[in-house]
Each structure stands twice: as C-alpha cells, then as structure tokens.
Amino acid sequence: MDYFIFLAQLSGIFIILAVSLNLINGICGQFSLGHAGFWAVGAYTGAAFTVFLNLPVPGFVNLLLSCGASFIAASIAGLIIGVPCLRLRGDYLAIATLGFGEIIRIIIMNMESVGGPRGFTGIPKLANIGWVYLWVAITVIFVANLLRGSHGRAIISIREDEIAAESMGIYTFKYKTLAFVIGAGFAGVAGTLYAHTQEFLAPTGFTFMWSVIILLMVILGGLGSITGSIVGAIILTVLPELLRFFGQTVSEWRMVIYSLLLICLMLARPGGIFGKHEFNILKFLRLDKKENA
C-alpha cells in the first residue's frame, strides 16, 4: 500500500514538472531541454532551506516556505538562462537549454556544501501525498487560468506565429521569458517536493535524460494540452513500475516493452493523446449520452 501511495506521490511531482514544461514547450512553443536543471535548482534550494536554516516552525510551514524559496530560486535561474537563450529559435534553443541544464548539474556536483557528488543527505521527509497534490492543483489552476486571459493568449500567439504576434503589438520576448520563468519556477517547486519525498538528492538524479523523460510526458499527452500532460506524466511514471508485476520475463524486458508501447502510441496518435485539446469531463459525459440515445 505504501508503495502505491509513493507512486501516486511521484506521479504528482511529475505532473507538476510536465505541466510546467508544457507551458514552455507546448503552449509557448519554445523547445527547452533544460527542465531537469530547474528541477535540480529547486530540489537543492528547498533541501538546503529546510536543512541549513532549520526554522523552528511546524514541518508543513517549513515545507511551504521552502517551496516558495525554491520557486523563486528556480525562476531566477530561468531568467538568467532564458534571457540569452530565448533569442535563439528551434533546435538552437534546445541545444542551448540542454547545455545550461548540464551546467547547473555540474555546478551542484562541485558544491561541497550540498554534498557534491556524494549527494545531499538528511533531508526531513516533510512532503506527503496531500501537499504534493495541493501543489499539483496550484500549478494546474495557475496555468489554466493564465491561458484564459490576455497574457496567456499572448503566450499562445508566440507558438502560432511569432512574427505576426510581434506585428500585433505583443512584445514577444517578454512573454517568452515570462513563460520560461513561470515554467522554471514550478519545476523548482516539484524539486522541493521531490527532495522532501526522497530524503536524499544526488546530482546524477538530474541528468539530461530526465529532461527528455519530462519532455516525453508532454509530447505523449499532447503538446499544448494541460490534461494531456497530466495523463502523460501518470502513464510514464506508472507504466515502468506496472510492468514489474507481470512475472519474471516481462520484468526483464520491461524497458523494451515500455519503449515499444511509446512507439506504438506515437504512431497511432502523432499529436499525442489529446493533441492540443483539453479533456473536459462534462463534455465527455454529454457526448456519451448522445451516443446512447
């Protein structure tokens, strides 16, 4: 049972990561491969906040404060990386962000105060499933509400046609940076929650592969769809674990099966599970009724 709760908690953390990357990649259309870097900044900031400051307040207050601190730290990292990188486009941007993501990891690796390559130990286990899903709700509502207003539309317009957006009086650089900073900030929060779930952090846990996996979650669910990112994050967290339960052979081949499932899904639905659309439970049920009638 504990294992399932742990899995649900991990899924929640990846939902935050996927939704925040979706804001950058799917909604704003800026191809970033440095998300694991912001995740790491948040994780280490949050962990350092609780371990070193050790504020005499109840655990959950400490967790919320460290989430706030990591949001700010990761946003600042996003700003520092975003301002030079966002002048680039497409593949070049992807490579530049990839590079910065690795730089962050290597800086952490060489910081003795947070354990360096040995890892950061002794982080209190403050996060539980409730706090993780509170932050999931905050992230999803934040992004969804943003998209319903003019500032969110401005971010979407950059994905649609940057030159046209600029010609319509939208200062695109500002909105690209904004999407990047907010996305990085929420990745930072996910990092803090992760640190206080695992009780241990190692720089090897934030490699470029993780940026790719988070990106996979977003693409699997559908670039630009928030509900898609949520489903994508759950599938890619649960699926590799689920395959463990199908006996010895399946378990041995699970990474192969997992890859094959991904390939099949992308062949069947190249735009991701939901494409650019949102899954709406009310619409879905109404549609059902019509079909039954």
Partner 1 sequence: MSETTNSPILKTDAITMRFGGLVAVNRFSMELGSNDLVGVIGPNGAGKTTIFNMITGHYEPTEGNIFLADNNINGLRPAFITQNGIARTFQNIRLFKDLSVLDNIRLAAHYTVDYGLLANVFRTKKYHQEEERVKNEAIELLKIFGLENKQQHLAKNLPYGEQRRLEIARALATKPKVLLLDEPAAGMNPKETKDLTELIRWVRDKFQIAVLLIEHDMKLVMEVCERIYVVDHGELIAHGGPKDIQNNPKVIEAYLGTSDTEAEA
Q: Which residues bind partner 1 (CB under 8 A)?
A: 142, 145-146, 148-154, 156-157, 160-161, 163-172, 178, 276
d(CA 41, CA 158): 27
Shortest distance in whole angstroms from residue 58 CB to partner 1:
27
Shortest distance in whole angstroms from residue 179 CB to partner 1:
11
Residue closer to partner 1 (CB basis): 1 or 163: 163
Q: What are phi and psi of 201, to 5 degrees?
A: -130, 140
Closest CA to 157 of 149, 148, 166: 166
Residue closer to partner 1 (CB basis): 151 or 205: 151
Could you tell me if 243 and 199 are in contact, meaning their C-beta atoms sit under 8 angstroms apart? no
Long-range Cβ contacts of 134-137 (<8 Å, 24+ apart): 135/12, 135/16, 135/67, 135/189, 135/190, 135/193, 136/12, 136/15, 136/16
Residue closer to partner 1 (CB basis): 125 or 286: 286
Shortest distance in whole angstroms from residue 208 CB to partner 1:
30
Shortest distance in whole angstroms from residue 155 CB to partner 1:
10
Residue closer to partner 1 (CB basis): 148 or 290: 148
Residue closer to partner 1 (CB basis): 179 or 190: 179
57-80 as b/e, with b when 16 or more CB fall inside 10 Å?
Answer: eeeeebbbbbbebbbebbbbbbee
Residue owning tokens 């979407």:
156
Shortest distance in whole angstroms from residue 70 CB to partner 1:
19
Could you tell me if 189 and 139 are in contact, meaning their C-beta atoms sit under 8 angstroms apart? yes
99-134 as b/e, with b when 16 or more CB fall inside 10 Å?
Answer: bbbbebbeebbeeeebbeeeebeebeebbbeebbbe
Shortest distance in whole angstroms from residue 19 CB to partner 1:
14
Residue closer to partner 1 (CB basis): 160 or 288: 160
Shortest distance in whole angstroms from residue 149 CB to partner 1:
4
Ranges of beta strands (E only) in 72-126 are: none
Residue closer to partner 1 (CB basis): 16 or 213: 16
